[in-house]
């Protein structure tokens, strides 16, 4: 009920009036039954624009950090995610990540539409990065269709680090449902999961027109952070940076 009220009377009118999102292929989202919406991830606001245009409620595998922030704003954010049925996704790996995927799997078995960002995090530069295997694991275990989704222009609305969004038009494209019957007998095989994930990422790339990078977005973010830190040391004339430069020469 809260999801419906917020979407219909609060978030929806604001989004539709201010950002005028255009949509293609919405009929590819099934009217009933479970499905996975596998989308590129350009901005925090992707998780706002996408549910506004999909007629059915969308449950996202959302970053766990959104559920554990402190203070009044952190409480409000956690409450909002909880009451709208979002699922905390622990990305630390191992059992914690598996538990999160298990919760997503149960949502699918209950007939939900599950939103997932296969890249695992927002793109640091607007390119499309290698998908993680969780989307394939869910699709192969539950046999539900995967609808590839391309978010268009949301990185211009709310770039990483920007809290107040820019007002401009955005779009989204829903591709044809994908099923993977030939892989169902090998649902837990990592080679099968990689093949399925790559097929999904190819369709997202085709819809979005993004340049594809065959590395993980999280690794690229770490590389960029490391380069930025080194640049700051150089600009400050840090003795450690000067010493490193001397050693390399």
In terms of average pLDDT, the best of 78-87, 153-162, 164-173 is 164-173
Instruction: Kindly indicate the confidence band of residue 221, based on its pLDDT and cuts at 50, 70 and 90.
Output: very high
pLDDT value at position 186? 96
Predicted confidence (pLDDT) per residue in 32-76, tens digit: 999 999 999 999 899 899 999 999 999 998 777 767 777 776 776
Integer angstrom CA distances of residue 25 from 53, 111, 209 = 11, 21, 16
Q: Is residue 27 scored above 70 in pLDDT?
A: yes
pLDDT of residue 239: 55
pLDDT in tens, 93-124: 677 678 889 999 999 999 999 999 999 999 99
**Sequence ranges of the domains in the chain:** 2-211, 216-249
How many CA atoms does the CB half-sphere of 25 hold within 13 Å?
Answer: 17
* Radius of gyration in angstroms for the set of CA atoms belonging to the chain, rounded to a whole number: 20
The rounded distance, in Å, linking the Cα atoms of 197 and 181 is: 14
> What pairing do the DSSP bridges indicate for beta strands 171-174 and 146-152?
antiparallel
> Residue 241 has what pLDDT?
47
Q: What is the structure's pLDDT at 138?
A: 97
Helix locations, the chain, DSSP H = 2-5, 12-18, 46-53, 71-83, 94-109, 134-142, 154-157, 190-208, 217-236, 239-248
**φ/ψ bin of 29: left (φ > 0), alpha (ψ from -120 to 50), beta (otherwise):** beta
Q: Name the percent of the chain lying above pLDDT 90.
A: 67
Residue of 223 and 245 predicted with greater confidence = 223
Quote the pLDDT of residue 92. Answer: 67
Q: What is the pTM of this model?
A: 0.87
**pLDDT, the chain, mean:** 89
Which CATH number does 2-211 carry? 3.40.1130.10
């Amino acid at each position: 009920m809260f999801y419906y009220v917020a979407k219909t009377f609060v978030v929806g009118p604001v989004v539709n009036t201010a950002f005028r999102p255009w949509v293609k292929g919405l009929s590819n989202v099934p009217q009933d039954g479970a499905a996975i919406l596998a989308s590129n991830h350009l901005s925090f606001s992707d998780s706002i624009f996408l549910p506004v245009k999909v007629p059915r409620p969308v449950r996202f595998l959302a970053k766990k950090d959104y559920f554990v922030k402190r203070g009044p704003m952190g409480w409000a954010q956690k409450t909002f995610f909880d009451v709208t049925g979002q699922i905390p996704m622990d990305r630390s790996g191992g059992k914690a990540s598996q538990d999160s995927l298990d919760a997503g799997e149960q949502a699918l078995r209950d007939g939900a539409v599950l939103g997932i960002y296969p890249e695992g995090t927002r793109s640091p530069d607007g390119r499309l990065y290698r998908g993680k295997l969780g989307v394939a694991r869910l699709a192969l275990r539950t046999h539900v269709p995967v609808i590839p989704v391309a978010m268009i222009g949301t990185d211009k609305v709310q770039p990483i680090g920007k809290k107040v969004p820019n007002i401009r038009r955005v779009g989204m494209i829903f591709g044809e449902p994908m099923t993977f019957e030939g892989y169902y007998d090998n649902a837990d095989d990592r080679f099968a999961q990689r093949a399925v994930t790559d097929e999904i990422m190819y369709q997202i790339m085709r819809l979005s027109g993004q340049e594809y990078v065959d590395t993980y977005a999280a690794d690229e973010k770490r590389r960029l952070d490391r380069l930025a830190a080194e640049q700051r040391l150089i600009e400050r004339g840090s003795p450690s940076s000067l010493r490193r430069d001397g050693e390399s020469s």
